[in-house]
């Protein structure tokens, strides 16, 4: 038998529990008979018109539910509803507390679900038939990748009209809009003429770009405004169409406005505000035209499948297309065209977003379980108090299942009420979530109907979950005994159940609290982390040199550098300053292949190293000591082409030898070796790196200013910003910050988890303490008589307190022990977000356990003390 068949049979057995016992065997036999027949048909290949096994078996649930509810009459259901409503109204405080508790859990789940929905499930807004879109990427036979295309290659792919109804491409960029003090950097897209047609987007106003806008490289400067930019900067003025705006150094004619809500096809990043033809794309640094070169891969492609072409068919058609591409260019050997369904996230991003979402949803579900346990406990406590009522109703002939149904109805009604309460919480998710995420998200995360529906379902499930407990307890109740004992039933089973609930609550919240502690320690650790240089007292500023279009020659650029460094050196408190192509961790990253000169012909020998062009004072400014050799002198004093490498590269190319004096394949002499610096990320080990002298290199896109100050880096930011503007008032100064802040910001994922987990841990702790408090005080209230007798017989009030407290602390101890197990699991789950802390860090786990124990003690002590103060006479008289 197939494994699938096994799973289907197991599912049927589980579903059979829903069917009333007297009809269960018959029900199961019918379904198993049909399933067996279906499987035989499939094996014989005769199941063409038949549903799949999973789809078929899915129908068993409605069938089972139908049979289960067959005997329910409208009157009895209505009666249950009325009764539930009356009961809930009768104790409004109970109802409100229970509903609010549950609303927290449901709202948190809804918020996390909005995230999954917005990021992973919902197609990009404003796009027609998004399910027919595919991403088209460049990969390699040898190593699977997900890369962009060169312009000529994109033309070959666009000719594949049998599979694609249209192929479009884009390149994201930051464009500087306006001039002088009016200038601002806005996210923009270079798009192919087919972009809007393939997406099926209609203009808000004017027209969108089309094939007629693809004229020639550099010609025809037209632009489409994003709806957001149009409203924000142009006051939604319809007269903007036909006017000219300055983008970078050129005037562009505005031809239209994109529709509201359209955010391009990428789910992550900043949504584009400006769309210009791809032919406006320029690459100032590299030689060759981006429209002729097959090496420059800057164009990201997607396509729309032809009607009737399925995704597998399209994938199969990529082989001949790959062959055509390879025959077009010899150096495309090994390149492969690959597809992914839909647009929004690349397959890698999807996996990553899936991992983060799964964690967040997991945490939210944990919180929901906790709230269910809490409310279940409240219900159990009340069921205990209501023992007599239930007993009387049973004695009057209400069947056990009827009683259980009544209780379940009550909890479902409560859960639906809680779901309503959670709606405002959820509605704020669209506003709150983006601030919480590690990365900017282009798409809207505002929940839509599927999320609300799923939340309502979660609410009902939660209701069934916590309603099942008292229902089960009630169905086991002994009528005669209950009535005899005056309703104060305290069945052992039920007490145990309540204990178990509180223990599991404590355990779950310890899991969250210790997760919060681990993340908190990670952030502290990151603040103090040693990135390989002296990060304190360092300010970095990104210089947007390319935007102005006024530094197009090497001389102009060199002069600008000199003036900028001189201006910054004049700021009081500045110790040194330098420019570099990239700043550690925070940005400007670039790599290039390097190879030792003696093995220059061997393609295997080259490695990708960090490409860091710097000015002479760089190493002093960074506080990076020279391990061997020397640092750079000013360019005028370096007649030879020289580089400095880091220890990682030296060890890779010349293990055991001194790299100083060796030569790289490009003819650069190594004059020094410096310690490794984490250039990309605080988490990853340092890459091999090569430092070049800026004046000996090609011109840079945008250099990063590094300034070392004697005092507080934050205080110096404003002065550095002023100095940059003083050198060129038209230069857009967007990003100046203390490097420490940049380092901390780079741990955004850790921060996200820290915020979410800490919030949820706080809630969880509060809920479980309320649970413990409730359990103890309810126990005390029920045992007042017993306490009175003990005190009357001479027990000291402290003894009574100790007995009650001892029992509560025993529960807390069990909760803590189990909770440490849960903590190890949450630690494992959060491992990817931890930094410098092991998931089993004893300090974090121990601290969390101690916190929980102390808090439990306080929560139990308040009602326990009340037990000790019981007035013997009063309690006995009552």
Partner 1 sequence: MVVILYILHFYLAEPDTPMPRPLGISSLRILAAIRDDVGYGLDIVAHTGMPSGTVYPTLARLKRAGLVTSRWEDQRLAEREGRPRRRYYDLTAEGRRALTEGAARAYEAVTALGPGPVEGRG
Interface with partner 1 by CB under 8 A: which residues?
29-30, 32-34, 36-38, 40, 49-51, 55-63, 65-67, 69-74, 77-78, 412, 453-454, 456-457, 460-461, 464
- Residue 65 CB, shortest distance to partner 1, in Å, is 5
Closer to partner 1 by CB, 74 or 636: give it: 74
Residue 70 or 530 having the CB closest to partner 1: 70
Residue 629 pairs in a beta bridge with 672
Nearest to 109 by CA among 376, 457, 405, 431: 457
> Please, what is the minimum distance in Å from the beta carbon of residue 34 to partner 1?
4
CB 152 within 8 A of CB 292: yes
C-alpha dist (Å) from residue 26 to 17, 22, 61, 655: 13, 8, 15, 76
- What's the min distance (Å) between Cβ of 152 and partner 1? 49
In whole angstroms, how close is the CB of 47 to partner 1 at the nearest point? 8
Cβ distance to partner 1 smaller for residue 19 or 791: 19
Indicate if the alpha-carbon torsion angle 838, 842, 847, 850 is positive or negative. positive
* 332 and 150 Cβ atoms separated by less than 8 Å: no
Query: In the bound complex, what is the minimum distance in angstroms from residue 298's beta carbon to partner 1?
Result: 45
For partner 1, the closer of residues 49 and 142 by Cβ is 49
Name beta bridge partners: 339. Answer: 136
Based on CB atoms, which residue is closest to partner 1, 18 or 652? 18
CB of 74 to partner 1, least distance (A): 6
DSSP string, 388-437: HHHHHHHHTT--HHHHHHHHHHHHHHHHHHHHHHHHHHHHTHHHHHHHHS
Beta strands in 163-215 (DSSP E): 164-177, 184-191, 205-206
Min dist. Cβ of residue 459 to partner 1 (A): 9
Q: CB of 129: closest distance to partner 1 in angstroms?
A: 21
Whole-angstrom Cα distance, residue 283 to residue 98? Answer: 62
User: 57 or 775: whose CB is closer to partner 1?
Assistant: 57
Instruction: Report residue 640 as tokens.
Output: 């030879």
Kindly tell me which of 112 and 564 has the beta carbon lying closer to partner 1: 112
Q: Which two tokens stand for residue 812?
A: 């807390």
What minimum distance in Å lies between the beta carbon of 835 and partner 1? 40
The residues, ordered by sequence, that sit 6+ positions from 529 with a Cβ below 8 Å of its Cβ are 682, 743, 835, 836
Supply the minimum distance, in Å, between the C-beta of residue 767 and partner 1. Answer: 25
d(CA 527, CA 522): 9
Shortest distance (Å) from residue 24 CB to partner 1: 14
Least Cβ distance, residue 42 to partner 1 (angstroms): 11
Are the CB atoms for 658 and 651 separated by under 8 Å? no
**How many Cα atoms are found within 13 Å in the side-chain-facing hemisphere of 517?**
25
Please, are residues 38 and 8 in contact by the beta-carbon 8 Å criterion? no
Min dist. Cβ of residue 412 to partner 1 (A): 8
3-state secondary structure 321-343: HHHHHHHHCHHHCCEEEEEEECC
Using alpha carbons, select from 636, 658, 649 the residue that is nearest to residue 677.
Answer: 649
Closer residue to partner 1 in complex, CB, 71/180: 71
Closest by CA to 85, choosing from 410, 461, 547, 477, is 410
Closer to partner 1 by CB, 73 or 310: give it.
Answer: 73
From the CA atom positions of the chain, what is the Rg in Å? Answer: 34
User: Which single residue is written with the structure tokens 């062959």?
Assistant: 323
List 244's β-bridge partners, or say none: 253
Instruction: Tell me whether residue 114 or residue 856 sits nearer to partner 1 (CB atom).
Output: 114
In the complex with partner 1, the residue whose CB is nearer, 65 or 395, is 65
Within a 10 A sphere around the Cβ of 660, how many other Cβ atoms? 19
Of 687, 676, 675, 682, residue with least CA distance to 740: 682
- For partner 1, the closer of residues 58 and 813 by Cβ is 58
Q: How far is the CB of 53 from partner 1 (least distance, A)?
A: 11
Burial (0-12, 13-18, 19+ Cβ within 10 Å), 400: middle
CB of 50 to partner 1, least distance (A): 5
Residues facing residue 236 across a β-bridge: none
* Cβ-count burial 612-636 (b if 16+ within 10 Å, e if not): bbbbbbbbbbbbbebbebebbeeee
Q: How far is the CB of 79 from partner 1 (least distance, A)?
A: 12
DSSP string, 102-128: HHHHHHHHHHHHHHHIIIIISPPTT-S
Nearer to partner 1, 51 or 625 (CB): 51
In Å, the largest CA–CA distance within the chain is: 106
Instruction: Name which of 317 and 464 has its Cβ closer to partner 1.
Output: 464
- Residue closer to partner 1, measured from CB, 25 or 323: 25
Return the number of the residue (64 or 577) whose C-beta is nearest partner 1.
64
**DSSP code string of 724-752:** HHHH-TTS----EEEHHHHHHHTTHHHHH
């Amino acid at each position: 038998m197939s494994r699938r068949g096994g799973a289907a049979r197991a599912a049927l057995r589980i579903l059979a529990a829903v069917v009333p016992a007297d009809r269960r065997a018959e029900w199961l036999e019918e379904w198993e008979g049909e399933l067996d027949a279906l499987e035989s048909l499939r094996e014989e290949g005769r199941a063409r018109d038949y549903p799949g096994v999973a789809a078929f078996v899915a129908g068993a649930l409605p069938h089972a539910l139908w049979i289960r509810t067959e005997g329910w009459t409208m009157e009895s259901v209505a009666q249950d509803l009325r009764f539930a409503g009356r009961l809930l109204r009768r104790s409004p405080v109970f109802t409100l507390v229970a509903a609010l508790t549950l609303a927290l859990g449901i709202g948190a789940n809804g918020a996390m679900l909005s995230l999954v929905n917005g990021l992973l499930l919902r197609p990009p807004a404003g796009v027609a038939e998004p399910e027919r879109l595919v991403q088209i990427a460049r990969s390699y036979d040898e190593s699977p990748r997900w890369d962009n295309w060169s312009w000529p290659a994109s033309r070959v792919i666009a000719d594949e009209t049998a599979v694609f109804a249209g192929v479009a491409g884009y390149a994201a960029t930051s464009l500087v809009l306006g001039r002088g003090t009016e200038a601002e950097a806005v996210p923009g897209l270079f798009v192919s003429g087919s972009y809007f047609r393939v997406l099926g987007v209609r203009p808000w106003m004017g027209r969108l770009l089309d094939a007629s806008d693809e004229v020639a490289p550099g010609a025809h400067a037209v632009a489409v405004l994003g709806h957001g930019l149009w409203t924000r900067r142009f006051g939604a003025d319809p007269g903007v169409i036909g006017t000219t705006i300055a983008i970078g150094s050129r005037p562009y004619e505005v031809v239209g406005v994109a529709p509201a809500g359209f955010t391009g096809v990428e789910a992550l990043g900043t949504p584009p505000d400006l769309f210009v033809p791809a032919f406006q794309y320029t690459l100032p640094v590299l030689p060759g035209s981006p429209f002729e070169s097959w090496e420059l891969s800057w164009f990201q492609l997607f396509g729309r499948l032809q009607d009737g072409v399925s995704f597998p068919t399209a994938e199969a058609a990529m082989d001949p297309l790959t062959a055509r591409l390879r025959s077009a260019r010899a150096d495309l050997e090994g390149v492969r065209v690959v597809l992914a369904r839909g647009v929004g996230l690349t397959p890698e991003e999807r996996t990553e977003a899936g991992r983060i979402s799964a964690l967040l949803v997991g945490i939210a579900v944990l919180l929901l379980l906790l709230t269910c346990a809490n409310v279940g406990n409240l219900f159990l406590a009340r069921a205990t108090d209501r023992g007599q009522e239930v007993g009387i109703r049973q004695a009057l002939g209400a069947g056990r299942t009827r009683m259980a149904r009544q209780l379940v109805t009550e909890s479902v009604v409560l859960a639906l009420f809680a779901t309503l309460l959670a709606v405002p919480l959820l509605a704020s998710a669209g506003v709150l979530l983006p601030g919480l995420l590690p990365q900017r998200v282009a798409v809207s995360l505002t929940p839509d109907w599927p999320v609300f529906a799923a939340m309502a379902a979660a609410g009902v499930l939660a209701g069934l979950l916590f309603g099942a407990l008292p229902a089960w307890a009630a169905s086991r109740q002994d009528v005669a005994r209950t009535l005899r004992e005056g309703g104060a039933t305290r069945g052992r089973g039920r007490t145990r159940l309540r204990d178990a609930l509180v223990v599991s609550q404590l355990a779950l919240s310890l899991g969250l609290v210790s997760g919060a502690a681990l993340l908190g320690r990670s952030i502290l650790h990151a603040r103090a982390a040693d990135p390989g240089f002296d990060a304190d007292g360092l300010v970095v500023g990104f210089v947007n040199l390319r935007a102005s279009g006024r530094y197009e020659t090497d001389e102009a650029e060199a002069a600008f550098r000199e003036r900028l460094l001189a201006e910054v050196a004049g700021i009081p408190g500045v110790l040194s300053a330098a420019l570099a192509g990239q700043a550690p961790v925070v940005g400007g990253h670039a790599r290039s292949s390097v190879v030792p000169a003696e093995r220059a012909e061997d393609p295997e020998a080259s490695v990708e190293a960090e490409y860091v062009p710097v000015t002479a004072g760089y190493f002093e400014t960074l506080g990076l000591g020279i391990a061997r050799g020397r640092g750079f002198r000013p360019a005028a004093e370096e007649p030879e082409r020289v580089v400095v490498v880091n220890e990682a590269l030296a060890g890779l190319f010349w293990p055991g030898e001194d790299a100083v004096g060796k030569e790289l394949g490009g003819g650069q002499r190594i004059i020094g070796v410096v310690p490794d610096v984490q250039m990309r990320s605080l988490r990853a080990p340092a890459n091999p790196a090569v430092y070049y002298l800026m004046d000996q290199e090609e011109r840079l896109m945008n250099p990063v200013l590094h300034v070392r100050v004697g005092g507080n880096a934050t205080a110096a930011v404003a002065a550095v910003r002023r100095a940059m503007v003083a050198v060129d008032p038209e230069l857009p100064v967007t990003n100046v910050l203390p490097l420490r802040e940049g380092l901390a910001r780079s741990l955004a994922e850790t921060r996200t988890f820290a915020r979410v987990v800490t919030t949820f841990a706080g809630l969880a702790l509060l809920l479980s303490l309320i649970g413990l408090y409730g359990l103890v005080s309810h126990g005390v209230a029920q045992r007042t008589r017993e306490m009175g007798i003990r005190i009357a017989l001479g027990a000291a009030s402290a003894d009574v307190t100790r007995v009650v407290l001892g029992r509560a602390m025993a529960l807390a101890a069990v909760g803590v022990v189990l909770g440490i197990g849960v903590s190890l699991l949450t630690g494992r789950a959060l491992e990817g977000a931890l930094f410098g802390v092991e998931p089993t860090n004893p300090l974090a786990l121990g601290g969390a356990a101690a916190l929980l124990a102390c808090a439990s003690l306080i929560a139990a002590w308040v009602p326990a003390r009340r037990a000790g103060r019981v007035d013997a006479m009063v309690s006995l008289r009552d």
